[in-house]
Chain A
Amino acid sequence: MSDLFRWDWVLDHRDDVWLALGEHMWLTFLAVAIGLAISVPTGIFVSRHRKLYGPVTALTGFLYTIPSLALFAFLTPVTGLSTTTAEIGLVSYTLLILIRNVVAGLDGVSPDAKEAARGMGYTDRQLLWKVELPLALPTIVAGLRIATVTTIGLVTVTALIGKGGVGYFILFGLSRSFSTAIILGAVLAVALAVVFDVLLLRSERLLVPWTRSSEERPA
């Protein structure tokens, strides 16, 4: 048992663990933020121009199916062993989920609320920002959760191009048949995914107070 997992090694590499965690979160944050910055405008545009939804889904679906390893292999000659290479891959994988959820969220907005808003004199822009996006938010955040958890898993793969957060430990362990590092990397990746999932779920509830039932509200 002591050979399978050596705490002393982990303690010796405390600083590396923190660095790897920091890098992992940074790569994830960057990928999801850029993915969101692309997906929200794209999703809004596509929901207004329905004919484009098919092609956009096909394209993002295609990106999603490219094996990550293959993608990095293709990109490395162009963008090198860089954060850019890692992010191109990571961002690509968020698009399918995020765009789909933005569109689904906007589709789910009650047509009555929209009609009433227009009838009362909302401009198109006010309708989008004050009615449609707030009401689509729960669905968008749900997509954000899935994208974040998926990205946390994928970041471990980017260790192959030297930008892998906790994936570095897995790679290191594999190359030396050193189980402690493999387990450490895997556990940290799973723990990160769980922590972020819970945090996002919490924030989702905070962002949509109107869906709470009356019993939960202070009297």
Chain B
Amino acid sequence: MADSMISLRNVSKRFANSTDAAVDDLSMDVYAGETVVLVGPSGCGKTTTMKMINRLVEPTSGTIVVDGTDVRKQDPVELRRGIGYVIQSIGLMPHRTIASNIATVPKLLGWDAARISDRTRELIAMLDLDPGLLARYPSELSGGQRQRVGVARALATDPPVMLMDEPFGAVDPIVRARLQDQFLEIQKKLNKTIVFVTHDIDEAIKLADRIAILNTGASIEQFAPPEEILREPANDFVERFVGAERGLKRLALIKVSEIQIEQGPVCSPRDSVADANEEMERFGFDWVSIVDDGELLGWIGQRDLEGRPRLTDITPRPFSAYVTKESTLRHALDSIVSSRTQVAVVAEEGQRYAGILTLERISREIVS
């Protein structure tokens, strides 16, 4: 492909005090606008690989091209100023205020004060940080706030390429999940080319467009979209690394809109009781959704029909939960197993009825 933003060709790194190569003849491409997550056991060379991109580590051999230029033909300082960089421990300057930390690279590049202040305001709004924090020092912030400041600092000059080394590793799981969601939201808007290092396969599955699973010496075991890695692990190593609940993890990656949903038993409130019975029979259900002109009103059970002449006399019961087309199959599955009807009802905005999802339908998706 022509739009490779970062390209590694036969890159190796041997450290002076070690016989084995930390990175052994690695070649890979990262395309513009995608998030590639490097994941692997500790010591597999994923961080070394990332640090060679901005020359914090110099490769022993091979070529690395970023945005069309061989990094070794660039001044490392200039190169680094053009690439956003976030590390696990964040590395905020403890002696500088938050505002000054965010302004680090703009200042290095000689932006004027007004431009820096405008950009800082923009960034703290984007990352949902309180402007009151700007005058504070890093030690006064919570872990999650510091992580967001670290990301804001890396985004300050709007660099096209970002390197992120376990940026959410040091915070508790709840905060981490929130930061990950925010990451996805921001990335949707900004479309950066991101190389992201983590040892957490679930984080990789959640954030990556493509995951590179690395083994010792940064050898690529599989380099594919998360869904493919979960569906078809290339080998035992990948399968073991991906771990248990592969099927469930895959369901979290597929949206309801991506699969064919079933129509399900549906009646209008103006239909007759006989129509309703027929509809239930057709699907083998003991209940029917009541939809009036596209709007989902609820459901009526077979027993509700006894002794009633018309459906209009019966008040439909509300569904306890819906899923939408944007929900994941994992969410739909949860809705199925926790509902009395053993079915997930799919509704659109404004209670528009879309169909149903059954356990069978979802399990077909895992097996396929």
A residues near B, CB below 8 A? 110, 112-123, 126, 131, 134-135, 208-211, 213-214, 217
The answer to whether B85 touches A119 (Cβ under 8 A) is yes
17 interchain pairs, CB-CB under 8 A? A115-B87, A116-B91, A116-B93, A117-B91, A117-B104, A119-B54, A120-B105, A120-B108, A120-B153, A122-B108, A123-B77, A135-B95, A209-B137, A210-B96, A210-B139, A213-B140, A217-B140
The answer to whether A119 touches B80 (Cβ under 8 A) is yes
Q: Name the contact of B93 in the complex, choosing from A123, A131, A209, A211 (C-beta under 8 A).
A: A131
B residues near A, CB below 8 A? 54, 56, 77-82, 85, 87, 89-96, 104-105, 108, 136-140, 150, 153-154, 163
Residues of B within 8 Å of A208, CB to CB, are 95
The answer to whether A120 touches B139 (Cβ under 8 A) is no
Question: A172 to B205, alpha carbons, bound, how many Å?
Answer: 83
The answer to whether A112 touches B78 (Cβ under 8 A) is no
Residues of B within 8 Å of A217, CB to CB, are 140
Q: Which residue of A lies closest to B105 (CB)?
A: A120
The answer to whether B95 touches A121 (Cβ under 8 A) is no
The interface centre, meaning the residue of A121, A208, A213 with most chain B CB atoms within 10 A of its CB, is: A121
The answer to whether A121 touches B56 (Cβ under 8 A) is no
Residues of A within 8 Å of B91, CB to CB, are 110, 112-117, 119
A179, chain B: closest CB distance, angstroms:
50
Q: Which secondary structure dominates chain A's binding surface?
A: helix
The interface centre, meaning the residue of B79, B82, B89 with most chain A CB atoms within 10 A of its CB, is: B89
Known: A112-B90, A210-B137, A210-B139. A120 touches B95 (CB 8 A): no
The answer to whether A121 touches B87 (Cβ under 8 A) is no
Residues of A within 8 Å of B137, CB to CB, are 209-210
Residues of B within 8 Å of A122, CB to CB, are 77, 108
Q: Which residue of B lies closest to A212 (CB)?
A: B137
The answer to whether B81 touches A120 (Cβ under 8 A) is yes
Residues of A within 8 Å of B136, CB to CB, are 214
Q: List 6 additional contacts besides A209-B137, A214-B136; criterion CB under 8 Å.
A: A113-B94, A119-B56, A120-B153, A121-B78, A123-B77, A210-B94
Question: A177 to B274, alpha carbons, bound, how many Å?
Answer: 127
The answer to whether A121 touches B81 (Cβ under 8 A) is yes
Question: A112 to B91, alpha carbons, bound, how many Å?
Answer: 5
Residues of B within 8 Å of A115, CB to CB, are 56, 87, 91
Residues of B within 8 Å of A117, CB to CB, are 91, 93, 104
Residues of A within 8 Å of B95, CB to CB, are 134-135, 208, 210
Residues of A within 8 Å of B94, CB to CB, are 110, 113, 135, 210
A136, chain B: closest CB distance, angstroms:
10
Question: A98 to B232, alpha carbons, bound, how many Å?
Answer: 63
Residues of A within 8 Å of B93, CB to CB, are 113, 116-117, 131
A48, chain B: closest CB distance, angstroms:
18
Q: Which residue of A lies closest to B76 (CB)?
A: A121
Residues of A within 8 Å of B90, CB to CB, are 112, 116
Question: A110 to B146, alpha carbons, bound, how many Å?
Answer: 16
Residues of A within 8 Å of B104, CB to CB, are 117, 120
Q: Which residue of B lies closest to A124 (CB)?
A: B77
Residues of A within 8 Å of B85, CB to CB, are 116, 119-120
Q: Which residue of B lies closest to A137 (CB)?
A: B95
Residues of A within 8 Å of B78, CB to CB, are 121
B101, chain A: closest CB distance, angstroms:
9
The answer to whether A120 touches B87 (Cβ under 8 A) is no
Residues of A within 8 Å of B153, CB to CB, are 120
A-B pairs, 10 with minimum CB distance: A116-B91, A121-B81, A121-B80, A119-B85, A112-B91, A112-B89, A210-B137, A214-B140, A210-B95, A134-B95
